[in-house]
Structure 1
Amino acid sequence: MATLRETDLYPPVKAWLEALGYVVKGEVGAADVVACHPGEAPVIVELKTGFSLQLLQQAVARQAVTDAVYVAVPRWTGKAGWRNFKGNVGLCRRLGLGVLSIHLEAGAVQVHCDPAPFRPRKSKPRRARLLKEFTARAGDPNAGGMTRETIVTAYRQGAMKCAAYLAGAGPSRGAEVARATGVARATTMMRDNHYGWFERVDRGVYALSESGRAALGA
């Protein structure tokens, strides 16, 4: 199989732009593709055989010339390729860049987004969850950059308080644990037993499991 080159992307991109009424020329100044139409700002397309930091840097640099800047890459293959491509489209939206994918066998161009100023939509539920966790977490138990498996959350801190109480008091009712530890969700935590630290010994009564003792270092 021949090695894919950026020049392989040029014919379908040129044909697509010409079908829209543009006059198209390759390698004008620093731009891979420049398309002009009377009365409109020029369109610039940067060609690459795959997404890269260099591609994005080049495209952003072209925004000093025109707002109408696209990046063009070959069409993805497979589910993993689509996930990566979709993530890169989101990044390009934030940068105000348009994205084209090229189906080389068909010579077809697909537009995934057009160049436009990015207006991020804030998620109130996500912000609320973030601030709830921040407020509920005691101290700063995690170093930034840790892996997800080792992060101490407010939930884990609450479960540790329940486990520590049971280690000293023995089997107890959920309401007793909640009052003693200040963990309002103590009964639910012990019933759900997310970490495997608790065991139900009677209705509403919980004890510390061997896994719980190991977690406490008891």
Structure 2
Amino acid sequence: MSATKPRETDLYLPVKTLLEGQGYEVKGEIGAADVVGVRGDEDAVVVELKTSFSLSLFHQAIERQAITDVVYIAVPRSSGRAGLKALTANKSLCRRLGLGLITVRLKDGLVEVHADPSPYKPRKSALKKTRLLREFAKRTGDPNSGGATRQGLMTAYRQDALRCARVLSQQGPTKASEVARLSGVEKARLMMANNHYGWFEKVATGIYGLCPKGAEALAQLGDPDQAP
């Protein structure tokens, strides 16, 4: 093993020993593959070796899936919080790509298999889907360009806040129930009380007015119910 920077060849013997222990005949550098293991009539095992996670490593492993479904990547095991974070993230990526993941602790040759190749079946989140579709349905028009920064996006919540601001701009300080009726925003009272954007002020019990910041936002962002 190299005393300084690890080499891909440092990974070969530990990986070969692991596969041989499982009954495979193993050979290195067969065609484009770093490691190939064959056991009877089973599908061949291919392992791609790299000294660290990289996009090229995943590209190579995906190309090997044209040869066999049993493809692993193998990298040196890193220590510390950063190493654990990288391992966790790349293990998740391997599972999505149907790849296996092996790490080798170079100081003693310890080999650990973190994931085996298998078809990826994503776990759907009904809650996330519901939130996505609810926001889509509630948002008026298409006020944002895809790929824009998250800060300052025109959400359905912001559009409702603008509707409340529009009523207060036209009517002056108004009872929350009346703001809800005129704006069509059912939760107008809660929205103005929470005052997420700093646009509203409570001037009396149940009565709200528009702050200068709210008037400025209304002038800048416009009426969400008017076509652009």
**1:111 alignment counterpart:** 113
**1:56 alignment counterpart:** 58
Deviations 1:86-116 (A, max 9, x none): 2322222122111112222232222221101
CA shift for structure 1 position 9: 1.8
Look up the equivalent residue of 2:77 and give its one-letter code: R
Q: Which moved more, 1:68-77 or 1:145-154?
A: 68-77
**1:29 alignment counterpart:** 31
The alignment partner of 2:151 has SS state of: helix
Q: CA RMSD in A?
A: 1.9
Partners of 2:98 and 2:85 lie apart in 1 by: 20
Partners of 2:200 and 2:207 lie apart in 1 by: 10
Deviations 1:35-75 (A, max 9, x none): 12223221111011222222112111111221110011222
Match of 1:83 among 79, 82, 85: 85
The alignment partner of 1:200 has SS state of: strand
Look up the equivalent residue of 2:109 and give its one-letter code: G
Q: Percent identity?
A: 55
CA shift for structure 1 position 131: 0.7
Look up the equivalent residue of 1:69 and give its one-letter code: V
Look up the equivalent residue of 1:157 and give its one-letter code: Q
Match of 1:123 among 112, 119, 125: 125
The structure 1 segments of at least 4 consecutive aligned residues displaced by more than 4 Å after TM superposition are: none
1:14/1:145 Cα in 2 relative to 1: closer, same or farther (>3 Å)? Answer: same
CA shift for structure 1 position 207: 1.6
1:27/1:124 Cα in 2 relative to 1: closer, same or farther (>3 Å)? Answer: same
Structure 2 unaligned segments of length 5 or more: list them. 221-228
Partners of 2:172 and 2:4 lie apart in 1 by: 71
1:199/1:52 Cα in 2 relative to 1: closer, same or farther (>3 Å)? Answer: same
Partners of 1:203 and 1:13 lie apart in 2 by: 73
Partners of 2:108 and 2:207 lie apart in 1 by: 67
Partners of 1:155 and 1:79 lie apart in 2 by: 38
CA shift for structure 1 position 77: 4.2
TM-score normalised by structure 2 residue count: 0.87
**1:134-149 map, 5 Å:** 134-149=136-151
**1:66 alignment counterpart:** 68
**2:205 alignment counterpart:** 203
Look up the equivalent residue of 1:181 and give its one-letter code: S
Q: How many residues align?
A: 218
Deviations 1:129-178 (A, max 9, x none): 11100000000000010011021110111111111221221222221111
**1:174-193 map, 5 Å:** 174-193=176-195
1:217/1:83 Cα in 2 relative to 1: closer, same or farther (>3 Å)? Answer: farther
Look up the equivalent residue of 2:181 and give its one-letter code: R
Partners of 2:84 and 2:143 lie apart in 1 by: 37
The alignment partner of 1:70 has SS state of: strand
